[in-house]
Amino acid sequence: MFALGMIEAGVVAAMTISASSAYAVGEVMRASHSLNASFASAKPFYLVAGISVAASAAVVLIPNAPLLAITIAVNVIATLLMAPALLFLLLLANDREVIGPLANGLKSNLLGGGIVIAIALMGAAYGVITVFPAVIQK
């Protein structure tokens, strides 16, 4: 049952990540981007989803590939990129032309800025600990 659960989790993750990447590409290209759309009307969406799954499968099938190291490296990169993404989100939340009267106030900006700084510091610490594990002595 555990193995079946692990396989299911992997399949769901592969579908979610490839579909979200394909959705973003479809959004940027102003093309149809839905699993409900036909292949003809959403070619970029389906091509990116297929390429994403194929590339992931190709990496996993590389003989003797250091899959744990690859996974940790991807996690470190994602953690380091989270702070800039949140900063852009905070800037968007302050744009009165886009958000209107619901734009952030001073308290929200201070709290949001503190969260972005905390995540940046924790991400940097995670990266340092991952690259230089001897920094933390057992």
Question: Which tens digit of pLDDT belongs to each residue from 47-89?
Answer: 999 998 898 889 889 999 898 888 888 888 888 889 999 999 9
The pTM score is 0.66
Decide if 103 contacts 94 (C-beta within 8 A).
yes
CA distance 103 to 90: 10
Helix axes 67-93, 106-131, angle to 10 degrees: 160
